[in-house]
Amino acid sequence: MSATPGSSMRTPRRRVAGLGSARSGTGHFWLQRVTALANLLLILIALPIVIWAAGQEQAQTLAILGHPLVAIVLLLLIFSVCFHMRIGMQVVIEDYVPAEGMKVLALIANTFFTIAVGSAGAFAVLKISFGG
Partner 1 sequence: MAGAAERPLSPHLQIYRPMLTMMMSIVHRITGVALYLGTPLLVAWLLAAASSERAFTFVNGLYGSWIGLLLLVGYSWALIHHALGGIRHFVWDTGAGFGPGPRELFAKLTIGGSIALTGVLWIVIWLVKG
Residue 72 is a binding residue for partner 1 (CB under 8 A): no
Output the DSSP codes for 57-123. Answer: -HHHHHHHHHSHHHHHHHHHHHHHHHHHHHHHHHHHHHHH--SHHHHHHHHHHHHHHHHHHHHHHHH
Residue 11 DSSP symbol: -
- Regarding 19 and contact with partner 1 (CB under 8 A), the answer is no
Among 81, 106, 125, 128, binds ligand HEM (CB under 6 A): 81
Total of chain residues touching partner 1, rule CB under 8 A: 39
Q: Which stretch binds ligand HEM (CB under 6 A): 49-57, 63-71, 102-110, 122-130?
A: 49-57
How far, in Å, CA of 87 to CA of 6, rounded? 32
Query: Residue 126: CB partners within 8 Å, gap ≥ 6?
Result: 71, 75
Query: Is residue 23 at the binding interface for partner 1, with CB under 8 A as the rule?
Result: no
* Contact range with ligand HEM by CB under 6 A, out of 13-21, 32-40, 65-73, 122-130: 32-40
Task: List residues binding ligand HEM (CB under 6 A).
Answer: 32, 36, 39-40, 43, 50-51, 54-55, 81, 84-85, 88-89, 91-92
